[in-house]
Amino acid sequence: MFKGFANKMVDTGKASIFVRYAGVGPPVLLLHGHPRTSATWHRVAPRLVRRGFTVVCPDLRGYGRSRGPAPTTSHASHSKRAVAQDMVRVMQTLGHQRFGLAGHDRGAAVALRLVLDHPSAVTRVAFLDGLPLSEHLARADARFATAWWHWFFFAQPEIPERVINADPDSWYHGDPESMGQENHDEWRAATRNPDVVRAMLEDYRAGLTVDRQHEEADRTRGTRISCPVLVLWSLRDDLEDLYGDPRIIWRDWADDVRGHGIDAGHHVAEEAPNLLSSALGDFFAG
C-alpha cells in the first residue's frame, strides 16, 4: 500500500499531522472523510502519481495518526477552519504554495473552508459526496434526519463516546476485501482508539456549530469560490436522492462548476478508483 510514498509527521503549531506523499509535477492534496484515514486513497493516489502529479494524503486533525489539541467547549479546536490551516501548513512544509485540492465527505467540508479562507493557495477544487454543511442543515427535513441521524447523535455530549468505545467493531463496519487489507487494518486501529473517536465526534460537533456559523458568514459577505470546481457524487449513495443534482447547489457558491455522478457507493475511492482517478486527473490537468 502506497509503494514509493514517503511518510512524514508535520508540526503545524497546534497539531501533528501524519502525511503520505509521492510524485513529481503539479501538487494535489487529497482529504479523506469519516471515519477513514489517508489510507482510503491507496488505490487512487498511485494512479494520480503515474499521471504526473505530486500527491499528498494527510490524516485530518485527530483522525488516524494525526493529533490535535484537546476539545474545547466552542469546538473551535476541531473546526474546519483549524483543520484547513493545518493542511495549508502541511503543503507549505512540503514546498507547495499552490495546489489542487479534493475532499471527500467531511474532507469536502475542510476543502470548502480551505478554498474560502486561502483562495490564493488553491488552483482547482473537487468536492466528492459533499455539500456545504450549512446547505445540509438548511434543508434538514424528516428524510435528512432519518438518513443522517448520526450527525445529531454525534453532537450529544459524552454519550456517543460511551456507546462507540464500548464496542467500536460493532459500530464501525469495514470489509477488508473491498477496502484492501492494509487500509482496513489501519482504519480499524484508528477507530479502536478512544482519542481518535473523540476527535471524529468533535468534527461533527463543530459542524453543527462553529462551522455552520463560518459558512453562513461567508454567504452574508458574498464570499465565493473563485477557482474551477468539480462536483462528483456516488450514484449508489443518497446525495442525489436527497437533493437532486448537487451541482445546482454548488453554483450558489462558485461560478465555474462541473461534474457528474460515479457508479459507486459512498466510499468511492475504494470502490471505483479507476473512474475517480480518471475524473480527478482530467480535472487537475485542465
Catalytic residue ranges = 105, 266
Lookup result for grid cell 450529544: 156
Strands (E), 12-143: 16-22, 27-31, 54-58, 99-104, 122-128
Long-range contacts of 243-247 (CB under 8 A, 24+ apart): 243/131, 243/139, 246/131
> Omega of the bond prior to 160 within 30 degrees of 0, cis?
no
> Which amino acid is located at 285 in the chain?
A
For residue 29, what is the DSSP state?
E
Between the alpha carbon of residue 86 and those of residues 34, 94, 110, the distances in Å are: 17, 13, 10
- State the chain's maximal CA–CA distance in angstroms: 48
Q: How many CB atoms are closer than 10 A to CB 220?
A: 8
| C-alpha distances out from residue 72 to 77, 105, 157, 197, 206, Å | 6, 23, 12, 15, 10
Q: What secondary structure, in 3-state letters, does 228-261 show? A: CEEEEEECCCCHHHHHCCHHHHHCCCECCEEEEE
In sequence order, the β-bridge partners of residue 57 are: 20
CA distance 63 to 222: 32
Q: What CA–CA distance (Å, rounded) separates 275 from 237?
A: 16
